[in-house]
């Protein structure tokens, strides 16, 4: 993945002010550059879903006998769901949360030693989507692709090996879980391994690649006017998110507006990404989501961004295409799609959509 992303970002360098990331804990007022209005994001003030509706993304027990259909239904109606009994040890989730909190608790100058370059992938900095917005986001991030050894050595000269072991173990669990979830969702549509030759469940998963994104949303003096992470869809097949016990993640549904996803201890959030939307010929919704901040508690999250190798062409599964349901999207590799996304952002899917003859 590092080579693929470096190639994409070299063609689309993003001038992000990593060196100007403030010490959030020292700010008692929200700077103007962090004050969002509807002019900065049309969805900024879209009405949240009234709590009385009680509608939210489902929490699915993977041990439930009907988990396959529940996942399929969630992918079609929400594009997101939470899972329990997922097989990832609670101790490992606590370890990755501790690592994330330790990293963002370091002094700013220490974190900047591992700052991401303009065309780079790994390291510390603000979200790459920041370049599509005029205002800054109340958050900081750290991206891991491949081994984090070199960056972690700069952050923790004494303890980096322990932290590397945590990342390696976490990614191993996530890879297996992501593949399992993808196939559960596809099975709900009647799609089997024979229909997608490149994505065998029984293989060593060398057809897939991933990145790990650590996020910190500090306590904010004026949360209603700030944005932790602006609205976007993921370019992945699937994204698996671990969040600490502080709410902030919101997903958008046309009939409900923004819905806050409550954290459940030990659970994971799963988002359908753009590539899975393409693979399912539009049946699975690529969910628009964002992160809000609050005045009392910092929020941490860890996103496992999972997709195919760079040379694999993603196109609607033939079984889901018929004379009535023609392919909605062109065939595209993740690398090609990331280039489109780097230019067109949330309009990327519409750029590769096949427009039917009238």
Active-site residue list:
299
Closest CA to 83 of 98, 108, 55, 64: 64
The CA-CA-CA angle for residues 145, 1, 144, to 5°, reads 10
Sign of the dihedral through C-alpha 272, 44, 334, 2: negative
Phi and psi of 322, rounded to 5°?
Answer: -150, 175
Contacts of 142 (CB under 8 A, 6+ apart): 103, 104, 111, 114, 123, 124, 125, 151, 213, 214
H or E segment and range at residue 238: strand 238-243
Task: Round to whole Å and give the CA distance between 76 and 79.
Answer: 6
């Amino acid at each position: 993945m590092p080579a693929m992303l470096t190639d994409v970002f070299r063609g689309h360098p993003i001038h992000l002010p990593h060196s100007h990331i403030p010490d959030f804990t020292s700010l008692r007022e929200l700077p103007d550059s962090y004050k969002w209005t509807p002019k900065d994001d049309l969805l900024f003030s879209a009405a949240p879903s009234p709590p009385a509706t009680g509608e939210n993304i489902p929490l699915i027990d993977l041990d439930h006998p009907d988990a396959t259909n529940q996942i399929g239904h969630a992918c079609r109606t929400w594009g997101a769901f939470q899972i329990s009994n997922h097989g990832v040890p609670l101790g490992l989730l606590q370890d990755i949360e501790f690592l994330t909190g330790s990293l963002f608790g370091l002094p700013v100058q220490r974190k900047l030693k591992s700052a991401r370059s303009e065309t780079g992938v790994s390291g510390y900095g603000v979200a790459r989507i920041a370049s599509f917005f005029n205002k800054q986001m109340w958050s900081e991030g750290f991206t891991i692709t491949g081994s984090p050894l070199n960056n972690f050595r700069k952050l923790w000269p004494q303890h980096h090996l322990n932290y590397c072991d945590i990342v390696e173990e976490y990614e191993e669990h996530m890879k297996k879980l992501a593949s399992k979830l993808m196939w559960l969702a596809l099975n709900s549509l009647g799609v089997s391994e024979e229909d997608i030759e490149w994505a065998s469940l029984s293989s060593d998963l060398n057809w897939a690649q991933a990145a790990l994104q650590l996020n910190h949303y500090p306590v904010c003096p004026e949360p209603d006017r700030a944005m932790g992470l602006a609205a976007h869809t993921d370019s992945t097949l699937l994204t698996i998110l671990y969040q600490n016990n502080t709410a902030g993640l919101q997903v958008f549904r046309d009939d409900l507006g923004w819905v806050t996803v409550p954290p459940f201890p030990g659970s994971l959030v799963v988002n359908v990404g753009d590539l899975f939307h393409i693979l399912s010929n539009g049946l699975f919704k690529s969910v628009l989501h964002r992160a809000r901040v609050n005045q009392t508690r910092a929020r941490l999250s860890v996103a496992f961004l999972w997709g195919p190798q760079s040379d694999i062409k993603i196109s609607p599964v033939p079984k889901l295409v018929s004379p009535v349901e023609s392919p909605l999207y062109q065939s595209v590799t993740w690398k090609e799609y990331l280039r489109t996304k780097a230019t067109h952002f949330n309009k990327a899917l519409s750029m590769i959509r096949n427009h039917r003859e009238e």
